[in-house]
A = this chain, B = another copy of it.
Amino acid sequence: MITFNEAQDIICREFEELDFTDTPSELYKPINYILSIGGKRIRPVLTLMACNLFSDDYSKVIKPAVALEVFHNFTLLHDDIMDNANTRRNHPTVHKIWNNNVAILSGDAMCIKAYSFVAQCEPSKLSEIFNIFNRTAIEVCEGQQYDMNFETQENVSIDEYIRMIKLKTAVLIAACLEIGALIGGASREESELLYHYGLNIGLAFQLQDDLLDVYADEVFLGKETGKDIISNKKTFLLIKAIEIASGKDLEELKKWILKKEFDPVEKIRSVRSIYDKLDIKTIVNAKLLEYFSKAEELFQQLKADDKRKTELRKFSDLIKERIF
């Protein structure tokens, strides 16, 4: 059995050694760059831990775990172009260092490289893992499209928002657990339990991200804060605020949304103070706990060794610690 910390070490080492030296270097430098600036490697660690719930032979899960992380970073690379983001993980984004064309093409190459790692899965499981990977990858694109649609869609409901973050964020975390478990030899039933556990953790994770954009310390977050407020991004916080605000609060909120020219610092402060007045933080935290409880309930049903389960639970605890 490996511990959570050991799993993190194994994955970190794997990515330290991962270096695309093929030519033309112009294609591979941006890939090495985005993979080298870190991130928490949550997805491959989860994949490894899920495998280790059922098997001590975790060597066979490393390549699929790398595939999932490389795919995730590919989506970040392209999302950053679409959002015109300046920084990612405290570093300038690929399209800012190079340009949009480089970011498009290197992203494409990353997506294909992700599939090359999928292809290194053990032959007897290849077809099943490949199918889960495909289903998940297309769902992530669908989620990103819904997210883009929301920019011009006047009314977005909480349900529509939850569907979007489920596709854009939660299904990939869920698929990591499912794929890891299957490679570890889990039954379909167990791997599906883990998938749904992952969905709930993933939804909580995204709601936290929404909170962090408004309330986190910028250095801690690794990217600018308040960006969602400045761009009127329809996050859980804004959608909920519009839903429950009335009178002057609603007026004030709408005024800020419609304002074309403003001082960014003033807008962030003002919108945040409306959120505070409406107690949005408490509402988001309640929703977060709902997802965590559901995840816990599913986790309890899992028929795996308790010691191993404890190691995996350390991960959801780590996410919970991000709660304010």
Write the chain B residue with the least CB distance to A164: B24
- Interface residue from B75, B130, B142 paired with A23 (Cβ < 8 Å): B142
The prevalent SS among residues of A at the interface is helix
Interface 9-residue window, one of A98-106, A189-197, A205-213, A249-257:
A98-106
* Cβ-based interface call for A323 (8 A): no
A90 sits at the interface (CB 8 A) = no
Does A286 belong to the interface (CB within 8 Å)? Answer: no
B105 touches A144 (CB 8 A): yes
A104 to chain B, nearest CB (A): 6
Say whether A78 contacts B100, CB under 8 Å: no
Chain-B contact segment, one of A131-139, A173-181, A228-236: A131-139
Is A111 close to B, CB under 8 A? yes
A residues 273-312 touching B (CB-CB < 8 Å): none
Q: Is A315 an interface residue (CB 8 A)?
A: no
Interface pair B108/A142, CB less than 8 Å apart: no
Per assembly, the copies of the chain total 2
Whether A141 contacts B104 in the complex (CB less than 8 A), given A115-B134, A126-B127, A134-B119, comes out as: no
C-alpha gap A61/B91 in the complex (Å): 46
**Does any Cβ of B come within 8 Å of A247's Cβ?**
no
Number of interface residues of A (CB under 8 A): 38
Q: Report chain B residues within 8 Å CB of A126.
A: 126-127, 130
Q: How far is the CA of A141 from the CA of B138 in the complex (A)?
A: 20
CA distance A145 to B112 in the complex (A): 15
User: Across the interface, which residues of B come within 8 angstroms of A187, CB to CB?
Assistant: none
Residues of B within 8 A of A24 (CB): 142, 145-146, 149
| Contact A26–B145 (Cβ < 8 Å) | yes
Contact A104 B78, CB 8 Å, known A26-B148, A112-B134, A138-B113: yes
Asked if A66 is an interface residue, CB under 8 A from chain B, the answer is no
Bitwise, A139-161 to B at CB < 8 A (1) or not (0) is 00110111011000000000000
Does B119 lie within 8 Å of A104, measured CB to CB?
Answer: no
Chain B residue at minimal CB-CB distance from A101? B82
Is A116 on the interface with B (CB-CB < 8 A)? yes
Given contacts A24-B149, A78-B104, A148-B101, contact A119 B141 (CB under 8 A): no
Q: 18 pairs across A/B with beta carbons < 8 Å?
A: A22-B138, A23-B142, A24-B146, A26-B149, A27-B141, A78-B104, A81-B101, A82-B101, A82-B104, A82-B105, A102-B148, A105-B144, A107-B108, A109-B138, A111-B111, A112-B134, A115-B115, A119-B134
